[in-house]
Structure 1
Amino acid sequence: MSVSPESLVSAAVRLLRPAAGDATTLTPGLRARAAAILLRMALDQGLDAYWLRITPSMTRVGRHRMLCLEWYAGRDTARRCRATWSALSAACHHRTGELPPSPAEIHSRLHEVTALLVALRTGPPDMASMTSATNT
């Protein structure tokens, strides 16, 4: 069973901003790390959905889909995807002697993931405009 990227983002929001009456047993750092995992999963699913529409063979290898994204979705979207995915990946891993990510840091990544999901959902830019942009 697959959960939609939007559901994952909503779950991350609930982790980062628990309701006033909710008694949480997780520290803010653990909630932020869990939210980072959910946001990275949402971004991965958004990328998979994008590549399924464009060329399904690109969903097989994660590295290829990031490397080729620039040519299909545009330089800015690809750069933002790589930076956000990398930051979320770093936030997901527990390292001894290192503080967990702050909720504020992950909250800013939440906004970026939401914007990237919209950009990936709207599809690739016009190929003619991409060609003229690279020739200038």
Structure 2
Amino acid sequence: MTIAPESLVAAAGQLLLPPAGTVHTLTPGLRARAAAVLLRMALEQALDAYWKRVTPRMTRIGKHRMLCLEWYAERDTARRCRTTWAALSAVCHYRTYELPPSPAEIQGRLHEVTALLTALSGGPEPTPVGRHAGA
């Protein structure tokens, strides 16, 4: 069963800003880390959906789909995907010598992932850009 990227983003938002009256059983740092995992999953699913529209063979190639994105999407979108994915990946890994991410930091990533979901799903049908555009 696959959960829609938008649902993952909404769940991350609820972890970061729980409704009033909610009993807080998790620390803010743990909630922020869990939200980061959900946001990274949402971004990866959005990339899979994007590549299924462009070329289905690119969906499970790992980091190559991120590297090749620059040739098919706008360069700014590709750069934002790389930096956001890298930042979320860094905070998803638990290290005993680092402080957990702050909810405010992950809230900023939530806004970025929301914008990337729109950029990857909207607009015209993806076509190669750059030097391969006319080929």
Runs (4+) off by over 3 Å? 123-128
Gaps of 5+ in 1: none
What letter matches 1:8 in structure 2? L
| Between structures 1 and 2, the one with greater helix share | 1
Distance across 2 between alignment mates of 1:60 and 1:83: 20
Q: SS of the counterpart of 1:94?
A: coil
5 Å matches for 1:1-136?
A: 1-123=1-123, 130-131=129-130
Query: CA contact under 8 A between 1:5 and 1:41: conserved in structure 2?
Result: yes
Question: Residues 36-59 of structure 1: CA distance to partner in whole angstroms, max 9, x if unpaired?
Answer: 000000000000000000000001
Question: Residues 46-89 of structure 1: CA distance to partner in whole angstroms, max 9, x if unpaired?
Answer: 00000000000001211110010000012100000000000000
Of all paired residues, the percent bearing the same amino acid is 71
Length, aligned pairs only: 132
Distance across 2 between alignment mates of 1:105 and 1:33: 10
Q: CA RMSD in A?
A: 1.9
TM-score, normalised on structure 2?
0.92
How far apart are residue 127 of structure 1 and its match?
5.1
How far apart are residue 131 of structure 1 and its match?
4.2
Distance across 2 between alignment mates of 1:57 and 1:126: 15
Distance across 2 between alignment mates of 1:89 and 1:131: 28
Gaps of 5+ in 2: none
